[in-house]
Amino acid sequence: MKTQNEALETLLAQDYEHGFVTEIESDTFEAGLNESVVRAISKKKNEPEFMLAWRLKAFEYWQSLKEPHWAHLHYPAIDYQALSYYSAPKTPGQGPKDLSEVDPKLIETYNKLGIPLKEQEWLAGVAVDAVFDSVSVATTFKAKLNEMGILFCSFSDAVQEHPELIQQYLGTVVPYTDNFFAALNAAVFSDGSFVYIPPGVRCPMELSTYFRINAKSTGQFERTLIIADKDAYVSYLEGCTAPQRDENQLHAAVVELVALDRAQIKYSTVQNWYPGDENGLGGIYNFVTKRGECRGPHSKISWTQVETGSAITWKYPSVILKGDHSVGEFYSVALTNHHQQADTGTKMVHLGEYSKSTVISKGISAGKAQNTYRGLVKIAASAKGARNYTQCDSLLMGTECGAHTFPYLESKNNTARVEHEASTSKISEDQLFYLAQRGIGTEDAVSMIVNGFCKAVMKTLPMEFAVEARKLLGLSLEGAIG
Amino acid sequence: MMLIIKDLHVSIGDKAILKGLNLSINPGEVHAIMGPNGSGKSTLANVLAGREDYQITQGSIEYQGLDLTRLSTDERALQGIFMSFQYPVEIPGVSNLYLLKSALNAQRKKQNLPEIDAMDFLNIVREVMKQLQIDETYLYRDVNTGFSGGEKKRNEILQLLLLKPSLCLLDETDSGLDIDALRIVADGINLIRDPKRSIIVITHYQRLLDHVVPDVVHILSAGKMVAEGDRSLVARLEAEGYEPFLEKKTAGAA
Ligand SMILES: Nc1ncnc2c1ncn2[C@@H]1O[C@H](COP(=O)(O)OP(=O)(O)OP(=O)(O)O)[C@@H](O)[C@H]1O
Ligand SMILES: [Mg+2]
């Protein structure tokens, strides 16, 4: 182990000439990506050898790839050498000192979301102390969860404390060979979440990354791994409803879910990364690979997502239905405004007999935004009696936006049944007038109509999350009409 | 005065629809407006409610001393103007309950009152629904979605009774109602007759006016009021049709 470290240090030292890590003590690596960066990340995390080896293989593979451009997205080429690949949470010295230094636009947004001041300070990366309250709350629960044998911790901690589970499951659903961004993530991911629910345990509370994600406003390569062992159940919430104040940066996360026999995983996301301003400046490029595998019979995985953020979203939460009678669900609301572009959808891959999937996608476009649904339903020869139902609705606001639907179907078993429904509609003047006549202002009316349009998806969200999501939809559409 | 309309001219695009309309209403009065199809009755109601596509090219509208034309649609609603739509729109995914509550809370907000307590609200709504013999399940259905014509109209009156406006514009609330429903709706309207409230009833038929007895009856034709009288005018109209009132048109056609 020691020689390994020494070897690393030598390598690190070499790389000074490439100018990538000038101060090892600092929180942020300098821009640039090469093998030494990958090694340096692994070293910072004090990772066991198998992790480093895996990262390096991923990096090597990534170098052989070209960035994909099949999606209905337009953005300037990303210079991967211009990005920094490791960034710890901001320290008070780097961020704004107090709220008076924070962009008033940001504070206004927080106020509208009803986020208390203390949290505002913390979200803005001002007073790191404020985080501690929440952290201690989290650890209280952690002890309780531990009693039930549930593991819920950061990915880094899991690598240290449960390397055997990581080694057994990491990359088994999303291998680093999966795609360009998955390979990149595998090579350089800095942290993320880990959940393991032991056999027969029903996790008694929603697990959430709300706090940690916020604390790491600079983390762009997370990796989440959730394992529900036989007969286990877990509901997991990802993201936060507060706008992230990130610059025009790349965010390439990977999420892997594994559901063993009769296990159920419900994964809900409210994604509200900074979408760029009304002129399309700034914002996050969000390239995420999310996939779940129903590994055992009668297992079930549900994805619910409400996407309102990011300048660019490239995201296809998928389910591999390996187990017989397994169930995959995808419920999505994707809202794009101004110059946002979203190319999102799902893949349902039916391998098991009588596996069943449901896809409900609601796309809303306003301003000059482009919203694309891309769905693949694949029925393997083995998937006798498989069934899929897909419903795909688009709502347009204004005349300059666009909605596109690309359903793909590949079926190799003629006992399978697949249904697809699609619609495109506009918010009508009649509806707005009717609501205004009842005293409801345009913004509230739009939000009401849009939420109505999304109802089938919203009702699959856990309660408080749905409330937040509803607020968020309204907020994201401000100024979209009138 | 509740409402004073003077020499009102309104067009949609290039088309002039109201051409010098006058109308004054005192608080507590019920005015019936009758007139042939396309004469501009709904247009008048829409203009009062503040629909955007309509351009006021001339004239004035004063409501409770306010220049109505300066207020937005929702502001007018909050100032007490309510229109029962001739064709109520469907809003999929939005429950009737949610709409009713939002409308009521918008009003309360305007009056600096806190949002209504959920239980209080349910009690009030249930009471009104009972009056109108609307099944409680309609609270949980999407606004007007899949409602029959008559159900939509009854739903409008439900909102009317809940929001208690000062000026009610009822645009053909009676059409589409069966005989029993007509009586129920009429009873509902009579219930809100009040010395401080005015009601404009737009209708084609006498039967509603037999239940909701108007103080004044107007006949609107080709964008203008052409006759005015008491309830006896309705009976005359039933007997003779619009023909005798449309002198100009007849003259023009001859
Ligand atoms: N949006 C519009 N664009 C063009 N013309 C319109 C529009 N709305 C109404 N009109 C026209 O204005 C005239 C008056 O219509 P309005 O609906 O006010 O009549 P009405 O008296 O309510 O008729 P009805 O008894 O049939 O309900 C009609 O000729 C109608 O075609
Ligand atoms: Mg009409």
Q: Burial code of B147-183, b = ≥16 C-beta within 10 A, e = fewer?
A: beebbbbbbbbbbbbbbebbbbbbbbbbbbbeeebbe
Which range, of A68-72, A342-346, B164-168, B223-227, averages the lowest pLDDT?
A: A68-72
Does B85 sit within 8 Å of A434, measured CB to CB? yes
Tokens of A95: 């961020």
Contact status, residue A293 vs residue A173, Cβ threshold 8 Å: yes
Residues A442, B142: C-beta atoms closer than 8 Å: no
> Rounded to the nearest whole angstrom, what is the distance from the C-alpha of residue B4 to the centroid of ligand 1?
22
Treating both helix axes as pointing N-terminal to C-terminal, what angle do B149-163 and B96-110 enclose, rounded to 10 degrees? 30
Q: What is the whole-number distance in angstroms between the Cα of residue A369 and the centre of ligand 2?
A: 38
A444–B102 C-beta distance less than 8 A:
yes
What is the B186 CA–ligand 1 centroid distance (Å)?
25
Query: What ipTM describes this predicted complex?
Result: 0.95
Quick one: which of A394, A387, A266, A274 has its CA closest to A338? A274
CA distance A392 to A362: 6
From ligand 2's centre to the CA of A161, what distance in Å? 74
User: Using the beta-carbon criterion (under 8 Å), do A435 and B99 form an inter-chain contact?
Assistant: yes
Beta strands, E only, B13-111: 15-25, 30-34, 54-63, 66-67, 81-84, 91-95
How far apart (Å, rounded) are the C-alpha atoms in residues B210 and B189? 12
pTM higher than the cut 0.80: no
- How close, in Å, is residue A451 to chain B by CA atoms? 7
Per CB-CB distance under 8 Å, the chain A contacts of B163 are: 438-439
Residues of A in contact with B91 (CB under 8 A): 431, 434-435, 448-449, 452
* Ligand 1 pocket mutation, candidates B19, B21, B39, criterion most atoms within 8 A of CB: B39
Mutate which of B8, B10, B17 for ligand 1? The one with the most ligand atoms within 8 Å of its CB, which is B17
Q: Within chain B, what is the greatest distance between any pair of CA atoms? A: 64
Taking CB atoms and a 6 Å cutoff, what residues make up the pocket around ligand 1?
A: B 12, 15, 17, 35, 37-43, 53, 86
Quick one: tokens of A330?
A: 């995808």
Does the beta-carbon distance from B93 to A439 stay under 8 Å? Answer: no
Nearest CA to ligand 1 atom 27: B37
* Cα A175 to the center of its chain, rounded Å: 17
Average pLDDT over chain B, rounded to whole?
A: 93
- The one-letter amino acid code at A261 reads D
* pLDDT tens track, chain A, 482 positions: 333 334 333 333 322 122 222 222 335 677 778 899 899 889 988 999 999 999 999 999 999 988 777 666 666 677 777 777 776 544 334 444 445 555 555 455 445 544 444 444 444 332 222 222 223 233 446 667 888 999 988 888 899 999 999 999 999 999 999 989 899 999 998 878 899 999 999 988 777 764 333 333 344 688 899 999 999 999 888 764 333 444 456 678 899 999 999 999 999 887 766 666 666 555 666 778 999 999 999 999 999 988 776 666 777 899 999 999 999 999 998 887 777 777 788 999 999 999 999 999 998 888 777 888 888 999 999 999 999 999 999 888 877 778 888 889 999 999 999 999 988 888 888 999 999 999 999 888 888 898 888 888 888 877 767 777 777 776 666 655 54
Per-residue model confidence (pLDDT) at position A18:
20
Q: Looking at the CA of B17, name the nearest ligand.
A: 1
